Amino acid sequence: MQPTRLRALLKRPEVARAAGGHDGLTARVIEECGYDVVWASSFEISASRGLPDMSLLTMTDYLEAARQMAAATELPILADCDTGFGNRLNVAYMIRQYEAAGIAGVCIEDKIYPKRNSFLEGGQVLEDAAEFAGKVAVAVRSRANPDFVVVARTEALIAGLGMAEALSRCHAYADAGADAILIHSKSPQPDEVVDFLRAWQRPVPVVVVPTTYFGWDIRAAGEAGVAMVIYANQGLRSSVQAMRQVLADIRTTGSSVRVEGEIASMKEIFRLTRVDTWTAVGA
């Protein structure tokens, strides 16, 4: 089962690699590129609808996107569930819905609702640590399969609250039953994360998202004690850049001659969407 697989990936000696996706096609590409986990990114799901990552979509919207990813790939899906979509009751409902949809695990963060993306200007406001720990405990109690993974994410470093606060919060979340901790940082260097790992005092795996400290490679992360690295948005960002360049070239030159050798062929899209499999079903 996928929850068991995700749990094993978090506990193995080798660092697990996750990449952000937003639909079935991106999940399938992530699998073919050799990643271990698909991160059902709330940022990517929102952006794919032309919306900012600011809690504008509902749980149903995010759940449907995650369900599409789970149907398209054999990889476990770790779903980015923002603040849990409400209070403790909402968190309990969310866990049951995601688990029933075949998702391997969820990640919730300790911001207040409505959340704002971690890299937006203007600061972040965090929920009371004890209240969020209560949400984590409810999430753990609400799962039917004990292997379903609950990741607790702190934004203490993002909010500028300091290392002591980040550690205190994460220790509390681990004590509440979180299966892994995600420590987030927007520093251009990995120093904050490394300091956190050195001071970490629980036998609970630590997950990182090196969006801003992108020079920190997987080997160094593993040596520092990281269990999983999530490349949360690079796929979407690269697709926007490539799409813009190709379409601009076609618009300028009046044909797609110059770009045909650089873009996926129709045959490749047919392969990715498994046309032959579906043709055989209907034969």
* Annotated active-site residue in 36, 53, 80, 179: 53
Query: Which residue is it, tokens 């034969």?
Result: 283
Contacts 24+ apart (CB under 8 A), 1-4: 1/145, 1/147, 2/70, 2/76, 2/77, 2/102, 2/103, 2/104, 3/76, 3/99, 3/104, 3/105, 3/145, 3/147, 3/148, 3/149, 4/147
Give the strand pairing for 37-40 and 77-80: parallel
Measure the CA–CA gap between 264 and 217, rounded to whole angstroms. 29
53 is a catalytic site residue: yes
Residue of 128, 139, 141 whose CA lies nearest to 168? 128
| Residues tagged active-site | 53
